[in-house]
């Protein structure tokens, strides 16, 4: 399978987190997870410099979600459940961090799910690339059955990415420390990975791009949830289910049971 197919199953491994992320998106919060009870304390506020400028963002308690981008027309500041109301800065940053990264995984997963199935069928990791290998939600199972070491490689690959993110954005667990506390000078989602140099230098352009990424990520999380649910229910590929492609999949041709 492709990298997109792998990320589809990363989603499955994190399904609970993704569903919470999609729910929080519908609620219009600037975060991906429902909040755990936490009192707003002066110590959290004082531990984060409100005057620090991060990609042009200056945390402002008087603004929605501390002024983070992502609130757009036609419904500005849509948050019917009040997730962003009176939320400490540290917590709102953690929610945005989760939302951004889950959105990125979902966008990759949607692309991978579509290109590996009928009618495109681009899956170079399989020996018989011209054969319909079935719904993308089961392709990781096929790889694991064909090569038992693939799961180990995948775990190490994901672990390396998450390790780099932890070193970049998360505070060391020492002194006065909160669970999953982000560094004061870390902008949620900005791990420094930008090989194509697409990150704008202008703060307004950066906020616009960040908002576009958030909106596409939110849509991808919802869309992926629906695609995965559909394939798990009826076992049909997306375009086949829509009547836009011919079903050529033969379950007996793969090393797993459907």
Q: How far apart are the C-alpha atoms of 188 and 54, rounded to whole Å? A: 9
Which pLDDT does position 54 carry in this prediction? 84
Phi, psi for residue 205 in degrees, rounded to 5: -65, -35
Give the model's confidence band at 43: pLDDT under 50 very low, under 70 low, under 90 confident, else very high: very low
182-219: pLDDT as tens digits:
988 999 999 989 999 999 989 999 999 999 999 999 99
| Cα-based angle 88, 89, 90 (whole degrees, multiple of 5) | 95
Report which of 170, 166, 147, 169 is spatially closest to residue 158, judged by C-alpha positions. Answer: 166
30-39: pLDDT as tens digits:
333 333 334 4
132-185: pLDDT as tens digits:
778 888 888 877 777 778 888 989 999 999 999 999 999 888 777 778 889 889
Examine the pLDDT at 250 and tell me if it is beyond 90: no
Q: What percent of the chain lies above the pLDDT cut of 90?
A: 43
Q: How far apart are the C-alpha atoms of 90 and 49, rounded to whole Å? A: 11
Q: How far apart are the C-alpha atoms of 246 and 237, rounded to whole Å? A: 10
- Which stretch of DSSP H or E encloses residue 16? helix 15-26
Which pLDDT does position 35 carry in this prediction? 38
Report whether 213 contacts 65 (CB < 8 A): no
Backbone φ/ψ region at 197: left (φ over 0), alpha (ψ -120 to 50), beta: left
Report which of 98, 134, 131 is spatially closest to residue 113, judged by C-alpha positions. Answer: 134
Q: How far is CA 104 from the centre of its chain?
A: 4
Higher per-residue pLDDT: 51 or 137 = 137
- Which stretch of DSSP H or E encloses residue 178? none
**Residue linked to tokens 């200056």:** 58
Higher per-residue pLDDT: 29 or 245 = 245
- Which stretch of DSSP H or E encloses residue 176? none
60-117: pLDDT as tens digits:
999 999 999 998 888 888 888 988 889 999 999 999 999 999 999 999 999 999 998 8
Which pLDDT does position 68 carry in this prediction? 93
């Amino acid at each position: 399978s492709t990298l997109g197919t792998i990320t589809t199953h990363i989603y499955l491994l994190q399904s609970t987190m993704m569903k919470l992320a999609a729910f929080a998106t519908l609620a219009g919060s600037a975060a991906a997870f429902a909040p755990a009870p936490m009192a707003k304390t002066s110590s959290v506020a004082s531990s984060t410099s409100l005057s620090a400028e991060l990609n042009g963002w200056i945390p402002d308690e008087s603004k929605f979600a501390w002024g983070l981008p992502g609130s757009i027309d036609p419904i500005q500041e849509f948050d019917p459940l009040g997730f962003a109301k009176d939320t400490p800065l540290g917590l709102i940053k953690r929610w945005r961090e989760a939302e951004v990264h889950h959105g990125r995984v979902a966008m990759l997963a949607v692309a991978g799910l579509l290109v590996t199935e009928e009618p495109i069928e681009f899956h170079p990791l399989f020996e018989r690339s011209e054969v319909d290998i079935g719904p993308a939600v089961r392709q990781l199972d096929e790889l694991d059955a064909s090569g038992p070491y693939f799961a180990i490689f995948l775990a190490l690959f994901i672990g390396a990415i998450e390790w780099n993110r932890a070193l970049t954005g998360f505070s060391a667990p020492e002194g006065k420390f909160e669970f999953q506390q982000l560094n004061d000078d870390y902008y949620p989602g900005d791990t420094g990975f930008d090989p194509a140099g697409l990150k704008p230098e202008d703060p307004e352009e950066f906020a616009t791009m960040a908002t576009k990424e958030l909106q596409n990520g939110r849509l991808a999380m919802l869309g992926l949830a629906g695609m995965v649910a559909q394939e798990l229910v009826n076992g049909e590929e997306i375009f086949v289910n829509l009547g836009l492609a011919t079903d050529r999949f033969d379950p007996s041709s793969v090393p797993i049971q459907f």
